[in-house]
A and B are shown apart, each in its own frame.
Chain A
Amino acid sequence: MVADKGKKSKVAERGEEQDSDHVDGELVLSIEKLQEIQDELEKINEEASDKVLEVEQKYNEVRRPVYIKRNEIIQSIPDFWLTAFLSHPALSDLLTEDDQKIFKYLVSLDVEDCKDVKSGYSIVFNFSPNPYFEDTKLVKTYSFTEEGTTNITGTTIKWKEGMDIANGNGHEKKGSKRPLTEESFFSWFGETELKNFSDGVTDEVAEIIKEDLWPNPLKYFNNEADEEDFDGDEDDEEGSEDDEDGDQDDDEEEDDEDDS
């Protein structure tokens, strides 16, 4: 990179020595050397980024079959994802009562990175046949381009007659006045513009699902179950409330492990 020759005159103004050409020359040379150093640093940083990406790609491949195994096990747990959503502090607020009814048909959730990790990822909700929409798969995909922009695509939901709660075309409930207009979670699939947040542009819901729920949904599922146990007056076969204390200890241990 050629040093800015215009600096010569700027620096000449500042130079106090009489031999200003000599001083100028030194400064220009220093700036040129500095630019070489920056170029060297940039090469190193790129190399570091590539190596880090390699590690992430490798471990993503290791995780993939584990996630597939996990999905199979989850099929044997009724309403697993619904329960996990409802016990997640942020996600629970996003599900209206109607949404919860639809989530009873949610068979599995899948979050999958592009093979090279950096190009993007998709979030897939798999449903069994249901009275709400024709689709069995609702997908939202995020593609990151080299220039740094993000492209978002989302399934256009094929709602059945009178069921489109995402666009306010659902059946009105008789006589019920809702205090707030409840926005359906499913409108998220139609949101293909990134919202502007102070720390950049993000799709918060996507980030929460991908970074928080997906890695360990059992953590949230368990909290829900424990809360019910805490509140409930079920007859606990095992004995007294001591078990609830025991449960909490388990939670605490879980939390410690998650932190590490």
Chain B
Amino acid sequence: MVVDKGKKAKFAERGEEDSDHIDGELVLSIEKLQEIQDELERVNEEASDKVLEVEQKYNEIRGPIYRKRNDIIKYIPDFWLTAFLSHPALSNLLSEEDQKIFKYLESLDVEDFKDLKSGYSITFNFSPNPYFEDRSLKKTYSFFDEGTTNITSTTIKWKEGMNTANGVAYEKNGNKRPFPEESFFSWFGETQQKSISEGFSDEVAEIIKEDLWPNPLKYFNNEADEEDFDGDEDDEEGTDFEDEDDDQADEDDS
């Protein structure tokens, strides 16, 4: 990188009488400094590459475990619906209508691109249902080297009169809802990046990917425990108190 020769003039203004000598020294110092920065940049790139390698390796290890997990989750009715509803942020996103649709949600899948840095996708898999034709709703985020993000998403094939995402199945019996309930499914149509000062962020995507997906059981359990806490079911094992305390102790341990 060529040192800005214009600096010579700037330093000449500041320099003492032997200005050529000082100029030369300063220019040399700045050149040396630039070499150091170049060296640091190489070291930083190497470090980033090594970190990425580690993350790619562990992502490969996690893959089959997530698949195993999905198989187990199929045996737990309404697992993802329950997990969503007990997540502090996500629960607010599901309207009553959305919750009915989520009864058909079979599985959730979050998958990084193989090299990790290029992007990831979030897929909701549904069983056949009265709401839309699709079996799979997918939203994909692609990151480019220049820093831009491309978002693509399934265009939902809503069945007649079922399009809650666009407010069609809205007014029943002429009842006015107190506030317009935006459907969670409108998230699939949001493929424009919101301009947020820190750069790209789709908050819903981040919460699903970074918070819910790694450990949805944590949230599922909270929901179940809350019901036990409220409920007056006959507990075979003993008193409600003992079990609740056990539950809380377990939560603390985890």
Residues of A within 8 A of B (CB): 1-2, 4-10, 13-14, 26-27, 30-31, 33-35, 37-38, 40-42, 44-45, 47-48, 51-52, 55-56, 59, 62-63, 66, 69-70, 73-74, 76-78, 199, 215-216, 218-219, 222, 225-226, 228-229, 232, 234-238, 243-244, 247, 250, 253-254, 257-260
Check if B76 sits within 8 Å of A66, measured CB to CB: no
Q: Which of B1, B33, B235, B244 contacts A73 (CB 8 A)?
A: B33
Nearest-CB residue, chain B, relative to A11: B77
Number of A-B contacts (CB under 8 A): 182
Known pairs A44-B65, A225-B4, A234-B10; A55 contacts B36 (CB<8 A): no
Tell me whether chain B's interface is mostly helix, strand or loop, or mixed: helix
Check if A259 sits within 8 Å of B29, measured CB to CB: no
Nearest-CB residue, chain B, relative to A39: B254
Check if A9 sits within 8 Å of B4, measured CB to CB: no
Interface code B210-243, partner A: CB below 8 Å = 1, 0 otherwise? 0000110110010011011001011111001001
B9 at the interface (CB under 8 A from A): yes
Q: How far, in angstroms, from A33 to B204 measured CA to CA in the complex?
A: 28
B46 at the interface (CB under 8 A from A): yes
Q: Which of B34, B145, B147, B227 contacts A10 (CB 8 A)?
A: B227
**Considering the complex, which residues of chain B in the window 66-106 have a beta carbon less than 8 Å from any beta carbon of chain A?**
68-69, 72-73, 75-77
Residues of B within 8 A of A (CB): 1-2, 4-10, 13-14, 25-26, 29-30, 32-34, 36-37, 39-41, 43-47, 50-51, 54-55, 58, 61-62, 65, 68-69, 72-73, 75-77, 145-147, 198, 214-215, 217-218, 221, 224-225, 227-228, 231, 233-237, 240, 243-244, 246-247, 250, 253-254
With contacts A59-B47, A229-B7 known, what are 13 further pairs, Cβ within 8 A?
Answer: A4-B224, A34-B72, A34-B217, A40-B65, A48-B55, A59-B43, A59-B50, A69-B36, A70-B40, A216-B40, A225-B10, A237-B8, A257-B41
B214 CB contacts on chain A under 8 angstroms:
41, 45
Check if A48 sits within 8 Å of B9, measured CB to CB: no
Q: How far, in angstroms, from A235 to B37 measured CA to CA in the complex?
A: 29
Check if A48 sits within 8 Å of B58, measured CB to CB: yes
Q: How far, in angstroms, from A100 to B240 measured CA to CA in the complex?
A: 67
Check if B33 sits within 8 Å of A218, measured CB to CB: yes
> Which 9 residue pairs are nearest across A and B when measured between Cβ atoms?
A6-B228, A9-B233, A59-B47, A48-B58, A229-B6, A76-B29, A30-B75, A234-B9, A70-B36
Known pairs A1-B253, A59-B43; A38 contacts B4 (CB<8 A): no
Check if A48 sits within 8 Å of B54, measured CB to CB: yes
- Smallest CB separation, B123 vs chain A (Å): 19
A38 CB contacts on chain B under 8 angstroms:
215, 217-218
Known pairs A9-B235, A10-B228, A236-B6; A62 contacts B215 (CB<8 A): no
Q: How far, in angstroms, from A13 to B33 measured CA to CA in the complex?
A: 72
A-B contact pairs, 7 of them (CB 8 A): A6-B237, A9-B235, A34-B217, A74-B33, A78-B26, A237-B9, A259-B146
